[in-house]
Homo-oligomer: A and B are copies of this chain.
Amino acid sequence: MAGSAAATGALFPALTESCRADWQAYVGHAFVRALADGSLPEACFRHYLAQDYRFLLHYSRAWSLAVVKSDHLDDLRQSAALVDLLLNHEIALHVEVCAGWGLDEAALAATPEAPANRLYTRYVLDRGLSGDLLDLLVALAPCGLGYAEIGRRLLADPGTRLEGNPYRAWIELYGGKEFQDGAAAMADQLDRVAGRRGLSAPFERSPRWPELAESFATAVRLEVGFWDMGLAPEG
């Protein structure tokens, strides 16, 4: 994770360690490498952007479910601020970026939700409906914390091309301080909620561990499926 390692708590590293191969397949995916060297076909990026727009809406719903499931003021506040950030700022930013790539908001709204996209968010929502706040946060973690790790890696990697790279803004967004700070807060919340819900290190000894690790790994594989989808715009 290079010298730019961020504070990522205790539970998150244990989760990524428990599904190392899947995690690597996600953060080192061909889609990511093609963003890094600027070789990603524009059609792939546009397909990804259009799906990501739909993703953000349901991902925000899942974080709102985290608010519904919170019983401490700090969790209520942190998740509520994130939902507002996602829906009232990120989406607007996203729409702007899409416009720069030739996708207007009507085109975005008209794009059918791809199965790999729909599967991901509905799986996460169901983790929240069936489990507790910890189950939900664990299923939500691969997205925010994974994108932070990808952004950080790409910025730290001398092989990453920034000059003239059409995807430079994407790399700098997720590698940038604001997103990194948000991810660190998310990792802290994960540890805090784990502690309150009775999960402490060594995590592997908890009866909850197999299910939590499986759920995290599933969400990581769904991220891989999302990148795969991005590479196959006609899929």
Q: Give 4 closest A-B pairs by Cβ, nearest first.
A: A84-B84, A132-B132, A64-B67, A122-B122
Alpha-carbon separation in the docked complex, A208 to B134 (Å): 12
> Which B-chain residue is minimally distant from A61 (CB atoms)?
B68
Q: Quote the shortest CB–CB distance from A50 to chain B (angstroms).
A: 15
**Which residues of B lie under 8 Å from residue A116 when comparing CB positions?**
115
Which of A's residues lie within 8 Å of B, judged by CB?
Answer: 57, 60-61, 64-65, 67-71, 73, 76-77, 80-81, 83-84, 86-88, 91, 115-116, 118-119, 122-123, 125-126, 129-133, 135, 195-199, 206-208, 211, 225
Q: What are 7 sample pairs from A and B whose C-beta atoms fall under 8 A apart?
A: A64-B64, A68-B68, A81-B84, A81-B88, A115-B115, A115-B225, A197-B207
Alpha-carbon separation in the docked complex, A165 to B197 (Å): 46
Assuming the contacts A118-B119, A122-B123, A132-B132, asked whether A64 and B87 have C-beta atoms less than 8 A apart, the reply is no
**Which residues of B lie under 8 Å from residue A67 when comparing CB positions?**
60-61, 64, 67, 83, 87
* Cross-chain contact B87 with A60 (CB below 8 angstroms): no
**Which residues of B lie under 8 Å from residue A69 when comparing CB positions?**
129-131
Q: Quote the shortest CB–CB distance from A99 to chain B (angstroms).
A: 16
Alpha-carbon separation in the docked complex, A192 to B199 (Å): 18
**Which residues of B lie under 8 Å from residue A207 when comparing CB positions?**
195-198
* A61-B67, A70-B130, A83-B83 known, 15 other contacts, Cβ within 8 Å: A60-B67, A60-B80, A64-B67, A64-B68, A68-B125, A68-B129, A69-B131, A80-B83, A81-B88, A119-B122, A122-B122, A122-B123, A195-B207, A197-B207, A198-B198
**Which residues of B lie under 8 Å from residue A73 when comparing CB positions?**
57, 87, 91
* Cross-chain contact B83 with A57 (CB below 8 angstroms): no
**Which residues of B lie under 8 Å from residue A65 when comparing CB positions?**
64-65, 68
> Which B-chain residue is minimally distant from A58 (CB atoms)?
B126
Q: Quote the shortest CB–CB distance from A11 to chain B (angstroms).
A: 14
Q: Quote the shortest CB–CB distance from A129 to chain B (angstroms).
A: 6
* Cross-chain contact B126 with A115 (CB below 8 angstroms): no
